[in-house]
């Protein structure tokens, strides 16, 4: 960024460079002149020393601390200084037999010091302070525990960040998946495919229900043929288990164990159609990211369609040239 | 040694006795000074009654007779009615036990909780037992508070069917309502202490009752020390120490294991509730608890203890608003409330509101409730009937003197366990009650001290030391204090009296000290009065001191502050508050002490009447001590206020603050930052001021301030302002320059 450099340069022109030799030299001269014959100023070079000197000077000139602070200081001073032995009252009492440090009374059981003055300026109830003192004592004893708590906090903060990232990512995956499945339905329909598990979930579920209601044994063969024809189109390793046993939709078996995505949230797999088909691991039971990957792969292979480009390419070559890749991240840079 | 019974007739001496009584008939409180022949001692033929050998039967026969044995007149209907009530008091059942103990012992400690009737009955038992009209010696009963002394005396006069001020009277500072025929005298403990200065053996009394000893007022503590000494030289003197709490052991021990008599009170059980957790905000918690009680608990009035005026007013406002809102939202479940504040600076008429009834239940609605929000005056000094619920947040404002910087602090601090018990007890006066403590049981056990510090540990001791010195107590180090004060507090008192010239360097009373001790005033005020004739302003000074001795005369209702301040400004004097007080006093007298005039000018007529009375007493004292009452030659001249301010400085030179260059006042020597109190009338900030009091609250204020000249300090108090012996500070430099100028001027 070229603008940044010039800005820094301007700043140096406006305010002096505090570390420049010229400035330091001038300071030294000032200090020497200011304190006249004083030898204290010799060797003053650092800023903090200069600052201390300024404060001391302000104090000499009668610089005022905040009123409240001054009042408090004087009060504490006064309350903490006992009456000195030079005081005439002390001497008079001494003449009656008083000795420093003793108490008065026939059996000398009285107070030795005046009653303490404590200024209460809050509305804290009785026992709050002592409770707090006790707490702090307790806490002091377990400094280790405190360190552990700190570490826990730190971890929690990390976890939180991770979780938030994940949540944000999930949302993006979901919206991409939604788009991809819709595109899949449109393209399949255009291509004459009757039904596909990749189509939007509600469409699939609806079709399943209709099928279960009409137990059409006669249609089995036709449907199987239809299915097997569709099956040819995507015989890939990742989706190995497409069988012809189920009518109407593309059934397939996924090795979930092997396919588990690293960052997929464990609790996110439950959804509306899960109870519609509990026996076999269903497409709907997969991680969203995996679903997206599969649908996407299907669309790219079969229709040269990229969800993120939002475009159908002429062939695999054109796709390889124009489309930056098969993940959302690949498209980010554009 | 002195067989007191030999002293037949009380001499009519009293502090004011030799003064020429000017129109005594005009003042009923001076009745004792009238030389109206012998007292009406009535023989009444109690020949069978022997001094301190009477029986309950004898006394009861007399009480039930037809003529009053003390006046010779027939008993009234009212007397008989009251007598029936008296016989029902718990203490009456133990009359015989009491007499036996009294006959056998010199000192008796009597514990009776509130409602036992001890304050009114015990002195009467003694009157029948001792027949003071024959011995010529009185029975004294001390009270810590003036109001209590007056009201109890009135009640007992009614019970004995005599006129107040005759056989039964009272004596409080600046007011003596007794006569030659007085047998039983209620008095403040401070008054008995003053009498001891004139009559060190207290020979006018055959029995002394120290009531409310558990309150441990300064005067009661000193009296106990004195009485313990007198008991040794006067075996005929009997003493009853009465306490309302069960910590009587300390008193028994102090009086060489005196026997104890316990009178049960009329008390109902009180359930105590603690909070499970400490409260973050006790004020908010208090309000919440009030509302909870109001909505959930059975009918019965609530008493909430808070710390001060501001807090109480705030709580009252909030409780009223929230309770009204609740009542409006659920009229069939929540009744009306009457929220009443109570604190000592509240005008008397408004204080009376605590005795009003709770609001009546409206048809179809729950009973109304009275909610009293009070400082700790409702803890001991005032009893409000009908209280069933007490809320105790555990705080009160405590007055503590600190000798190191010579300041009285009035700060919020946790109460003691004893105080918490006392508060709880307030819930069980009329029926079983509940007390809600807004702290945990653990905090009660751990964070609250056992007893509240007795006053002697919390007070400035200047006038007490002066009185003790007058009583020939020379060794203040080994005096038998029940609780001995901090040595530094004693040092300050000695120092002050030394600089004022009342004590010499050896600690012995000087001539001036003797005179100062005569005045029932703080030493610096006595000094001002005594030196004022020198400045030709004793008339004015006595008025000012009278005003300083009375409570604050300026009324400032919350809703009329502006008008009140405007009214006060008419009296303002550019030179300071002391002179403002003088103008108020003079205006009051010029307006013939008219209450209406007071009302229109936001002044408290009762307080001002009190000041007039105090002044009268002071003038009498001045006359007796041959101190001339004079005024400046030219009352309108420029030197008029100068003379007064100078006379003020003569006594008050230790209460001086200097304005520093940075705009802050520092107290002399202690160098504490202080501010002029907002009520101060000084428009500009004079470089030097003298103040009446320095009080540490959340802010450091000096009150009642007047401008003075630093030259007077050097002139009138050269010992105190000895600059060779003065802490380094700006005021020292200023004074040094001034001193140099004075010296060169003299040369």
pLDDT digit string, tens, across residues B28-72:
444 444 444 444 444 444 456 889 989 999 999 999 999 999 999
Interchain contact, B443 vs A103, CB within 8 Å: no
Asked if B439 lies within 8 A of A93 by C-beta distance, the reply is: no
Report the residue of A110, A121, A131, A133 to disrupt the B interface, i.e. the one with the largest count of B CBs within 10 Å.
A110
Average pLDDT over residues A39-55: 65
Residues in chain A closer than 8 A to B282 (CB atoms): 123-126
Q: Which of B400, B475, B481 sits opposite A96 (nearest CB)?
A: B475
Indicate the pLDDT class of residue A274, thresholds 50, 70 and 90: very low
CA distance A130 to chain B (A): 8
Comparison of pLDDT for B333 and B686, the residue scoring more: B686
| Helices (runs of H) and strands (runs of E) counted in chain B | 27, 21
- Chain A residues whose CB is inside 8 A of the B492 CB are 83, 89
Is A128 within 8 Å of B499 when comparing Cβ atoms? Answer: no
Interchain contact, A125 vs B278, CB within 8 Å: yes
- Nearest C-alpha in B relative to A79: B404
pLDDT exceeds 50 at position A39: no
Residues of A in contact with B498 (CB under 8 A): 88-89, 92
Who contacts B401 (Cβ-Cβ below 8 Å, separation ≥6)?
A: B407, B408, B409, B458, B459, B460, B489
Closest CA to B181 of B12, B4, B15, B27: B12
Contacts of residue A126 in chain B, CB cutoff 8 Å?
278-279, 282, 393-395, 414, 438-439, 443-444, 447-448
* CB-CB under 8 Å, A130 with B446: yes
B405: closest chain A residue by CA:
A78
Query: Scanning every residue of chain B, which has its alpha carbon at the shortest distance from the alpha carbon of A100?
Result: B487
CB B202 within 8 A of CB B194: no
Which token pair is B579? 């002179």
Q: Give the CA distances from residue B710 to residues A261, B498, B713, B717, B724, in Å, rounded to whole numbers and listed in that order.
A: 92, 21, 5, 11, 17
Q: Which residue of B has its CA nearest to A132?
A: B278
Residue A259 has pLDDT above 60, yes or no: no
Interface contact flag, A123 B284, Cβ < 8 Å? yes
Q: Does residue B19 have a pLDDT over 80?
A: no
Cα distances from B178 to residues B200, B277, B501, B648, in angstroms, run 20, 55, 35, 34
Please state which of the ranges B12-16, B203-207, B527-531 shows the lowest mean pLDDT: B12-16
Dump pLDDT digits (tens) for B244-297.
Answer: 876 788 999 999 999 999 998 777 899 999 999 999 999 999 999 999 999 999
* Weakest mean pLDDT among A251-260, B237-246, B475-484: A251-260
pLDDT above 50: residue B581:
yes
Percent of residues, chain B, with pLDDT higher than 70: 93
Query: Does the structure show a pLDDT above 90 at B25?
Result: no
DSSP single-letter state for residue A95: H
pLDDT at B499: 97
Nearest to A96 among B439, B476, B492 (CB): B476
- Measured between alpha carbons, how far is B306 from B415 in angstroms, rounded to an integer? 11
- More confident call, A190 vs B8: A190
Max Cα–Cα distance, chain A, nearest Å: 129
A195 vs A248 pLDDT, higher one? A195
Of A108, A109, A113, the CB nearest to B486: A113
Partner residue opposite A82 with nearest CB, options B284, B488, B495 = B488
pLDDT on residue A48: 75
Query: Is residue A52 very low, low, confident or very high in pLDDT (cuts 50, 70, 90)?
Result: confident
Contacts of B728 (CB under 8 A, 6+ apart): none
**Contact A78/B282, CB-based, under 8 Å?**
no
Smallest Cα distance from B330 to chain A, Å: 31
Reported as type and span, the H/E element at residue B61 is: helix B56-64
Give the distance from residue B483's alpha carbon to the nearest chain A alpha carbon, in angstroms. 6
Taking CA atoms, B395 is separated from A87, B341, B630, in Å, by 36, 17, 49
What average pLDDT score do residues B217-243 get?
Answer: 95
Q: Which chain A residue's Cα is nearest to B408?
A: A117
Average pLDDT, chain A: 70
Return d(Cα B165, Cα B163) in angstroms, integer.
Answer: 6
| Cα A232 to Cα A235: distance, rounded to the nearest angstrom | 6
Higher pLDDT, A309 or B650: B650
Contacts of B392 in chain A (CB under 8 A): none
Q: Are A172 and A328 in contact (CB under 8 A)?
A: yes
User: What tokens were used for B562?
Assistant: 């502006």
CB under 8 Å to B624, separation ≥6 — which residues?
B15, B16, B18, B19
Q: Chain B residue closest to A98 (CA)?
A: B477
| Residue-level pLDDT at A260 | 41
The C-alpha atoms of residue A319 and residue A296 are separated, in whole angstroms, by 13
Average pLDDT, integer, range B341-364: 85
Interchain proximity B478–A97, CB inside 8 Å = yes
Question: Worst-scoring range by mean pLDDT, A252-261, B258-267, B566-575?
Answer: A252-261
| Ordered strands of the B138-143 beta sheet | B175-177, B168-172, B184-188, B138-143, B205-210, B238-243, B107-112, B260-263
At A160 the pLDDT is: 75
Q: What is the pLDDT of residue A216?
A: 56
Which chain B positions have a beta carbon within 8 Å of A63's beta carbon? none
Query: Which distant-in-sequence residues (6+ apart) come within 8 Å of B616 by Cβ?
Result: none
Which pLDDT score, from 0 to 100, does residue B747 have? Answer: 62
**pLDDT confidence of residue A18:** 57
Task: Read off the pLDDT of each residue in A114-130 and give the average, rounded to a whole number.
Answer: 87
Residue B77, SS3? Answer: helix
Q: What is each CA distance from A192 to A196, A214, A248, B404, in whole angstroms?
A: 11, 22, 13, 103
Q: φ and ψ at B742, to 5 degrees?
A: -60, -45
Smallest CA–CA distance, residue B418 to chain A, in Å, is 15
pLDDT(B195) > 50: yes
Instruction: Measure in Å the smallest separation between the Cα of A138 and chain B Cα atoms.
Output: 17
Cβ-based contacts of B400 with chain A (< 8 Å): 115, 117
Say whether B303 sits in a helix, a strand or coil: strand
Residue A252, pLDDT > 50, answer no
- Asked if B670 and A81 come within 8 Å (Cβ–Cβ), the reply is no
Q: With 90 as the cut, is the pLDDT of residue A169 above it?
A: no
Our CA angle for A62, A63, A67, nearest 5°, is: 110
More confident site: B633 or A133:
B633
What mean pLDDT comes out for the span B386-392?
95
Exposure string (b/e) for B338-352, b if CB count within 10 Å is 16 or more?
A: bbbbbbeebeeeebe
| pLDDT at A192 > cutoff 70 | yes
Residue A126 to residue B489, Cβ atoms within 8 A: no
For B457-603, where are the E strands, in sequence order? Answer: none
Beta bridge mates, B600 = none
Count, residues in chain B:
747
- The string of pLDDT tens digits covering residues B465-521 is 999 999 999 899 999 999 999 999 999 999 999 999 999 999 999 999 999 999 999
Chain B residue with Cα closest to A102: B487
Provide the percentage of residues in chain B whose pLDDT is more than 90.
73
The chain B residue lying nearest A78, using CA atoms, is B405
Residue of A72, A77, A92 for testing the chain B interface, max B β-carbons within 10 Å: A92
Q: Are B207 and B107 in contact (CB under 8 A)?
A: no
Percent of chain A residues past pLDDT 90, beyond the cut: 11
At residue A98, the pLDDT reads 95
**Position A62 pLDDT exceeds 80:** no
- More confidently predicted of B75 and A70: B75
Report ipTM (2 d.p.): 0.85
| Greatest extent of chain B over all pairs of C-alpha atoms, in Å | 93
Residue A131 to residue B443, Cβ atoms within 8 A: yes
Between CA A114 and CA A109 the distance in angstroms is 14
CB B466 within 8 A of CB B523: yes
Determine the pLDDT at residue B557: 82
Given an 8 Å threshold on Cβ–Cβ distance, is A110 in contact with B696? no
Closest CA to A250 of A306, A302, A310, A308: A302
Looking at per-residue confidence, does B563 or A150 come out higher?
Answer: B563
Q: Is B507–A113 a contact, with Cβ atoms under 8 angstroms apart?
A: no
Cβ distance of A130 and B447 shorter than 8 Å: yes
Predicted pLDDT at A12? 40
Size of interface A-B (CB pairs under 8 A): 198
A121·B698 Cβ contact <8 A: yes
Q: Given pLDDT bands bounded at 50, 70 and 90, which one contains residue A209?
A: confident
Burial B503-537 (b: 16+ CB within 10 A, else e): beeebebbebbebbbbbbbbbbbbbbbbbbbebbb
Chain A residues within an 8 Å CB radius of B480: 105-106
CB B118 within 8 A of CB B245: no
Give A58→chain B minimum CA distance, Å: 14
Whether residue B212 has pLDDT greater than 60: yes
- pLDDT, mean over chain B: 89
């Amino acid at each position: 960024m070229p603008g940044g450099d010039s800005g820094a340069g301007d700043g140096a022109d406006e305010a002096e460079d505090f570390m420049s030799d010229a400035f330091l030299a001038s300071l030294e001269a000032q200090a020497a002149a200011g304190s006249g014959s004083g030898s204290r100023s010799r060797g003053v070079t650092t800023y903090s020393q200069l600052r201390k000197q300024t404060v001391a000077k302000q104090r000499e000139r009668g610089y005022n601390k905040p009123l409240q602070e001054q009042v408090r200081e004087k009060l504490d001073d006064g309350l903490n200084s006992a009456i000195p032995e030079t005081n005439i009252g002390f001497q008079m009492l001494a003449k009656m037999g008083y000795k420093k440090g003793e108490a008065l009374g026939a059996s000398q059981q009285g107070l030795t010091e005046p009653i303490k003055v404590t200024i209460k300026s809050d509305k804290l109830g009785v026992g709050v302070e002592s409770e707090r003192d006790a707490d702090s004592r307790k806490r002091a004893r377990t400094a280790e525990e405190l360190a552990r708590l700190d570490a826990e906090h730190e971890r929690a903060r990390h976890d939180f960040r991770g979780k938030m990232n994940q949540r944000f990512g999930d949302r993006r995956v979901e919206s991409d998946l939604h788009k991809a499945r819709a595109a899949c339905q449109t393209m399949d329909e255009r291509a004459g495919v009757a039904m596909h598990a990749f189509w939007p979930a509600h469409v699939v579920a609806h079709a399943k229900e209709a099928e279960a209601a009409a137990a059409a044994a006669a249609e089995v063969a036709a449907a199987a043929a239809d299915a097997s024809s569709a099956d040819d189109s995507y015989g890939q390793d990742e989706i190995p288990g497409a069988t012809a046993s189920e009518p109407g939709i593309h059934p397939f078996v996924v090795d979930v164990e092997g396919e588990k995505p690293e960052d997929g949230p464990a609790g996110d797999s439950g959804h509306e159609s899960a109870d519609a088909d509990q026996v076999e691991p269903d497409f709907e039971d997969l991680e969203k990211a995996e679903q997206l990957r599969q649908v996407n792969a299907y669309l790219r292979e079969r229709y040269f369609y990229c969800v993120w480009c939002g475009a159908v390419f002429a062939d695999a070559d054109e796709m390889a040239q124009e489309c930056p890749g098969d993940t959302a991240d690949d498209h980010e840079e554009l | 040694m002195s067989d007191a019974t030999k002293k037949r007739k009380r001499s009519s001496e009293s502090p004011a006795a030799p003064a020429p009584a000017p129109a005594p008939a005009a003042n009923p409180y001076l009745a004792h000074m009238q030389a109206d022949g012998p007292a009406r001692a009535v023989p009444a033929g109690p020949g069978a009654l022997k001094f301190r050998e009477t029986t309950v039967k004898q006394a009861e026969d007399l009480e039930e007779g037809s003529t009053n044995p003390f006046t010779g007149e027939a008993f009234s209907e009212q007397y008989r009615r009251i007598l029936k009530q008296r016989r029902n008091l718990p203490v009456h059942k133990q009359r015989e036990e009491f007499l036996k103990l009294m006959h056998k012992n010199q000192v008796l400690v009597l514990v009776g909780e509130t409602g036992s009737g001890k304050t009114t009955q015990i002195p009467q038992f003694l009157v029948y037992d001792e027949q003071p009209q024959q011995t010529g010696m009185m029975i004294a009963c001390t009270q810590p508070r003036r109001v209590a002394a007056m009201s109890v005396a009135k009640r007992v006069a009614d019970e004995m069917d005599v006129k107040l001020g005759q056989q039964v009277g009272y004596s409080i500072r600046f007011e003596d309502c007794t006569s030659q025929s007085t047998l039983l005298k209620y008095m403040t403990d401070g008054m008995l202490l003053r009498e001891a200065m004139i009559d060190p053996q207290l020979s006018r009394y055959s029995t002394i009752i120290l009531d409310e000893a558990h309150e441990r007022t300064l005067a009661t503590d000193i009296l106990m020390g004195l009485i313990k000494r007198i008991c040794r030289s006067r075996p005929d003197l009997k003493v009853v120490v009465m306490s309302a709490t069960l910590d009587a052991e300390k008193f028994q021990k102090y009086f060489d294991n005196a026997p104890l008599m316990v009178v049960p009170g009329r008390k109902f059980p009180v359930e105590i509730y603690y909070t499970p957790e400490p409260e973050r905000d006790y004020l908010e918690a208090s309000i919440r608890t009030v509302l909870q009680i109001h909505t959930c608990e059975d009918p019965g009035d609530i008493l909430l203890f808070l710390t001060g005026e501001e807090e109480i007013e705030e709580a009252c406002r909030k409780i009223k608003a929230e309770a009204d809102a609740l009542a409006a939202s659920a009229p069939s479940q929540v009744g009306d409330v009457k929220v009443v504040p109570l604190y000592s600076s509240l005008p008397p008429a408004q204080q009376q509101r605590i005795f009003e009834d709770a609001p009546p239940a409206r048809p179809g609605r729950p009973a109304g409730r009275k909610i009293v929000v009070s400082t700790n005056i409702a803890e001991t000094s005032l009893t409000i009937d009908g209280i069933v619920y007490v809320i105790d947040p555990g705080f009160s404002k405590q007055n503590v003197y600190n000798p190191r910087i010579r300041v009285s602090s009035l700060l919020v601090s946790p109460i003691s366990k004893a105080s918490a018990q006392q508060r709880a007890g307030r819930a069980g006066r009329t029926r079983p009650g509940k007390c809600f403590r807004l702290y945990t049981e653990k905090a009660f056990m751990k964070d609250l001290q056992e007893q509240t510090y007795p006053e002697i540990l919390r007070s400035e001791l200047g006038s007490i030391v002066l009185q003790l010195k007058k009583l020939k107590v020379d060794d203040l180090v080994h005096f038998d204090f029940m609780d001995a004060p901090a040595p530094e507090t004693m040092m300050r008192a000695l120092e002050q009296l030394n600089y004022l010239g009342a004590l010499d360097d050896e600690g012995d009373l000087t001539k001036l000290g003797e005179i100062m001790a005569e005045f029932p005033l703080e030493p610096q005020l006595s000094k001002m009065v005594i030196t004022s004739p020198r400045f030709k302003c004793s008339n004015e000074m006595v008025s000012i001191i009278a005003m300083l001795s009375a409570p604050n005369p300026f009324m400032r209702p919350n809703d009329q502050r502006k008008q009140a301040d405007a009214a006060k400004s008419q009296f303002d004097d550019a030179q300071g508050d002391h002179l403002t007080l003088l103008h108020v006093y003079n205006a009051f007298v010029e307006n013939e002490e008219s209450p209406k005039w007071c009302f229109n000018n936001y002044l408290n007529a009762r307080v001002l009447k009190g000041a007039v009375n105090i002044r009268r007493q002071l003038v009498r004292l001045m006359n007796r001590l041959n101190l001339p009452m004079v005024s400046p030659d030219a009352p309108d001249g420029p030197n008029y206020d100068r003379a007064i301010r100078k006379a003020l400085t003569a006594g008050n030179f230790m209460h001086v603050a200097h304005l520093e260059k940075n705009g802050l006042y520092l107290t002399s020597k202690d160098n504490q930052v202080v501010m002029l109190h907002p009520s101060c009338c000084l428009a500009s900030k004079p470089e030097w001021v003298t103040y009446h009091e320095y009080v540490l609250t959340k802010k450091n204020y000096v009150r009642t301030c007047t401008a003075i000249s630093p030259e007077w300090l050097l002139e009138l108090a050269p010992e105190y302002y000895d600059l060779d012996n003065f802490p380094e500070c700006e005021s020292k430099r200023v004074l040094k320059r001034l001193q140099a100028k004075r010296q060169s001027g003299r040369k």
